[in-house]
Amino acid sequence: MDYQELMDKAIEAAKNSYSPYSKFAVGACLLTENGKTYSGCNFENSSFGLTICAERNAVGSAIADGERKIKAIAIYSPNQKHCYPCGACRQVLNEFKSDSGLDVITEGDTDLEIAPISFLLPEGFNL
Ligand code: THU
C-alpha cells in the first residue's frame, strides 16, 4: 500500500462526509502495522460539539477491529489543500503510533506532503 493509494481511499471517504453545518468535508484513511486500512469521514451534529473528525472516525474503526499500531494516515478535504489534523486528533493519533512512528499525509497542488506525528505534536501527552 503506497501513500498515493492511501490518499485515494481518503478522497473516496470524504465523499461520505456528513457536514451540513460547516460544509467542510474531510476524509481519512489509515494504514496499520498489519497492513490493514481503515477509512473515516467527519460527521456533524445539530449539537455542534458532538462532531467527530474524519481521523478519529478512522481510528475508532481500527481500534474496534483490534488494531493498535498505526503507521500512516492520509487526510483529504475538497475544501482545503494540506488539511492537517486538529489538535485533538493529533493527540489521538499519537496514542496509537507504531514503533517506527506515524506519517501524516496531506495533499497539495501537485504532490503529497509527509509529516511525522512527532513533528506535528512535539511532547504529546503520555501517561
Ligand atoms: N474536521 C475533521 O474532520 N478533521 C480535522 O482534523 C479538523 C476538522 C472536521 C470537523 C468539522 O466537521 C469540520 O471539519 C469543520 O471543522
Bridge partners, residue 29, by sequence: 39, 74
Ligand 1 atom 3, closest CA: 53
Architecture per CATH, domain 3-120, reads as 3-Layer(aba) Sandwich (3.40)
H-helix or E-strand spanning residue 70: strand 70-76
Q: Residue 1 has what pLDDT?
A: 80
Q: Residue 86 has what pLDDT?
A: 98
The C-alpha cell that represents 127 in the structure block? 501517561
Q: What string of pLDDT tens digits covers the 127 residues of the chain?
A: 899 999 999 999 999 999 999 999 999 999 999 999 999 999 999 999 999 999 999 999 999 999 999 999 999 999 999 999 999 999 999 999 999 999 999 998 899 999 999 999 999 999 9
Of 105, 107, 55, residue with least CA distance to 81: 107
Of 31, 41, 17, 51, residue with least CA distance to 105: 31
- Contact between 16 and 27 under an 8 Å Cβ cutoff? The reply is yes
Ligand 1 atom 2, closest CA: 53
Catalytic residue chosen out of the listed positions 55, 95, 113, 123: 55
Measured CA to CA, the distance from residue 15 to residue 55 in angstroms comes to 14
Q: Is 12 a catalytic residue?
A: no
Distance 120 CA to ligand 1 centre (A): 17
User: Helix or strand or coil: residue 123?
Assistant: coil
Ligand 1 atom 10, closest CA: 53
Q: Residue 109 has what pLDDT?
A: 87
Q: Residue 88 has what pLDDT?
A: 97
Distance 26 CA to ligand 1 centre (A): 6
- Contact between 36 and 65 under an 8 Å Cβ cutoff? The reply is yes
* Per-domain residue ranges of the chain: 3-120
Q: How far apart are the first and last CA of the chain?
A: 32
The ligand 1 site (C-beta within 6 Å) comprises: 19, 22, 24, 26, 42, 44, 51, 53-55, 85-86, 89
